[in-house]
Structure 1
Amino acid sequence: MRALLLLWLLSPTMTRADELIIAVASNFTAPMRDIAKQFEQDSGHKVTLAFGSSGKIFAQISHGAPYQAFFSADQAKPAQLIERKLADADSRYTYAEGKLALWSIKPGFVGADGEVLKGNEYNKLALANPKLAPYGAAALEVLQHLELEELTRARWVQGENISQTYQFVASGNADLGLVALSQILKQGHIAEGSAWIPPSKLYKPIRQDAVILKGAAGIPALQEFWRFIQSPEVHAIIRAYGYSTPSQAGDEHVE
Structure 2
Amino acid sequence: MKKLSIRKITLSVSASVLMLSSSATWAQSITVAVAANFQGAMVQLVNAFGASGLPFSGSSFTVTYGATGDFQTAINTALAAPGGTTPYDLFFAADDTTPAALRTGHPTVVQVPFRYAEGKLILWSKYGPNVSTSGSSGFTNPASYAYANGQVAIANPVTAPYGTAAQQVLSRVNAITYPGGAYDAKFAQYTTIGTTYTAVNASTSATTYPNIGFVAKSQLCDSSTGAIRTPLTGTYFEYTPATVNGNPPHDRLLQDAVAIRGRAGSTNAAVDAFIAYVGSTAGRAIILKNCYI
Normalization by structure 1: what TM-score?
0.83
2:73 aligns with 59
1:104 aligns with 125
Q: Which is further off, 66-75 or 232-241?
A: 232-241
What amino acid does structure 2 have at the position aligned with 1:82? R
Contact 1:125/1:177 (<8 A) preserved: yes
What amino acid does structure 2 have at the position aligned with 1:67? Y
C-alpha spacing 1:132/1:45, structure 2 compared with 1 (3 Å):
same
What are the Cα deviations for residues 152-177 of structure 1, in whole angstroms up to 9, with x where unaligned? 43211111000011111101131210
Question: Which residue, out of 223, 228, 231, partners 1:189?
Answer: 228
Matched, 1:219 2:233: no
Question: Which residue, out of 162, 174, 188, partners 1:135?
Answer: 162
Q: Which is further off, 112-121 or 177-186?
A: 112-121
What amino acid does structure 1 have at the position aligned with 2:46? A
Distance between the aligned counterparts of 1:9 and 1:58, measured in 2?
36
Distance between the aligned counterparts of 1:46 and 1:163, measured in 2?
24
* Structure 2 counterparts to residues 65-214 of structure 1, below 5 A: 65-85=86-106, 87-90=109-112, 92-106=113-127, 109-113=130-134, 114-115=138-139, 118=142, 119-120=144-145, 122-123=147-148, 124-146=151-173, 147-149=175-177, 150=181, 152-172=183-203, 173-186=209-222, 187=225, 188-191=227-230, 192-193=232-233, 194-200=235-241, 201-214=248-261
C-alpha spacing 1:117/1:234, structure 2 compared with 1 (3 Å):
farther
Distance between the aligned counterparts of 1:36 and 1:122, measured in 2?
41
Per-residue deviation, 1:104: 2.0
Question: Which residue, out of 218, 236, 254, partners 2:285?
Answer: 236
What are the Cα deviations for residues 36-89 of structure 1, in whole angstroms up to 9, with x where unaligned? 111122222222210000011111111225111100011111111111216433
Per-residue deviation, 1:184: 0.8
The alignment's C-alpha RMSD in Å is 2.4
Distance between the aligned counterparts of 2:131 and 2:102, measured in 1?
39
1:247 aligns with none
Question: Structure 1: which 4+ aligned runs deviate by more than 4 Å?
Answer: 8-11, 115-118
Distance between the aligned counterparts of 1:107 and 1:189, measured in 2?
18
How many residue pairs match? The answer is 233
Distance between the aligned counterparts of 2:59 and 2:261, measured in 1?
21
- Percent identity over the alignment is 30
Distance between the aligned counterparts of 1:157 and 1:58, measured in 2?
24
2:60 aligns with 46
SS in 1 for 2:145: coil
SS in 1 for 2:33: strand
Distance between the aligned counterparts of 2:171 and 2:128, measured in 1?
26
Per-residue deviation, 1:207: 0.5
2:81 aligns with none
Structure 2 residues not aligned, in runs of 5+: 1-20, 79-85, 204-208, 242-247
What are the Cα deviations for residues 84-103 of structure 1, in whole angstroms up to 9, with x where unaligned? 2164333x111011110000
What amino acid does structure 1 have at the position aligned with 2:33? A
Normalization by structure 2: what TM-score?
0.73
Distance between the aligned counterparts of 1:47 and 1:226, measured in 2?
13
Greater helix content: 1
